[in-house]
Amino acid sequence: MYLRPGGNGADRNDNAAKRHTPEHPKDAGKRAQQVDIEIIYDTVCPWCYIGKRRLDQAMAMRPNLQVTTHWRPFLLNPELPPDGVDRTAYLVKKFGSETRVRRIYGAIGEAGQSVEIDFAFDRIQKTPNSVDSHRLVKFADRAGVADQIVEALFVGYFVHGLDIGEMPILLDIGVEHGLDRHDLERYLLSDEDLESVTQDNARAHRLGVNGVPSFVFDGPMVISGAQEPQILARMLDAAASAA
């Protein structure tokens, strides 16, 4: 089942996983139902950050469910050079004028406020190549901190204006969340998981995904856009019922 009921998202984003099992007194002694969600995203997509926060709210609305998240890369800008490009020039080329850019990102900023995100787009100087940031999430998954790393990447880029395409920034983010700097640096300097990122991106397109965020609930159910928490909560219900 493939659902696309409107919503917001970025148009044209292995196994990053985290279990979310909120404690709830009423559910003591009950066995939580398991739901798996694949989140197809790009680390440079503001709607993906909003979508993540809304999914967090949806999961909090369903404390009886044990939700496991898997972060799947989607490359909005697969053609970007490794060093990225000037953000203003990139956005004007994409949207046609600075006036239109301000209007679009003003609306995104307002949407962010609804989930307590203080977007600071004026601090971002460069649109980075996001491949290595996706690799960082894959590396973090092996230590069980993928969800925290995704949040840190979003905060670093959209709130602090950090260039998350630069290795020193990625290393600092990883170390702040308990990853070993030497092991992470060796990993990022290698080609490990480069092919995995490319394959995940291709798989998303085969699923019919051409905008992010998109959420895949237990395989057959897919919904695109930064949907409201109530809609995502209903998708969790549907996935749990089908399990």
pLDDT per position as a tens digit, 183-235: 999 999 999 999 999 999 999 999 899 899 999 998 779 999 999 999 999 99
Q: Could you tell me the residue ranges of all domains in the chain?
A: 2-242
SS3 3: strand
pLDDT per position as a tens digit, 80-106: 999 999 999 999 999 999 999 999 999
CATH of 2-242, one of 3.40.50.2300, 3.40.640.10, 3.40.30.10, 3.30.470.20: 3.40.30.10
What are the backbone angles phi and psi of residue 73, rounded to the nearest 5°? -65, 140
pTM of the complete model: 0.88
Give the pLDDT mean for 172-187: 98
